[in-house]
Chains A and B, each alone.
Chain A
Amino acid sequence: GEDVEQSLFLSVREGDSSVINCTYTDSSSTYLYWYKQEPGAGLQLLTYIFSNMDMKQDQRLTVLLNKKDKHLSLRIADTQTGDSAIYFCAESINDYKLSFGAGTTVTVRA
Chain B
Amino acid sequence: DTAVSQTPKYLVTQMGNDKSIKCEQNLGHDTMYWYKQDSKKFLKIMFSYNNKELIINETVPNRFSPKSPDKAHLNLHINSLELGDSAVYFCASSQDPQGAGETQYFGPGTRLLVL
**Residue count of chain A within 8 Å CB distance of chain B:** 26
Q: B39-55: contact bitstring with A at CB < 8 Å (1 yes, 0 no)?
A: 01111110010100001
**Interface-lining segment among A18-26, A73-81, A91-99:** A91-99
Which secondary structure dominates where chain A touches chain B? strand
Nearest residue (CB) in A for B91 is A42
**Residue count of chain B within 8 Å CB distance of chain A:** 27
Is the CB–CB distance between B99 and A102 below 8 Å? no
Nearest residue (CB) in B for A41 is B108
Residue B41 contacts which of A41, A94, A95, A103 (CB distance < 8 angstroms)?
A103
CB distance from B24 to the nearest CB of A (A): 14
Is the CB–CB distance between A88 and B108 below 8 Å? no
CB distance from B37 to the nearest CB of A (A): 9
- Which residues of B are interface residues toward A (Cβ below 8 A)? 4, 31, 40-45, 48, 50, 55-56, 58, 90, 92, 97-101, 103-109
Known: A42-B108, A96-B56. 6 other contacts (CB 8 A): A1-B43, A31-B98, A43-B104, A95-B98, A96-B31, A99-B45
- Which residues of A are interface residues toward B (Cβ below 8 A)? 1, 30-31, 35, 37, 40-45, 48, 50, 86, 88, 92, 94-100, 102-103, 105
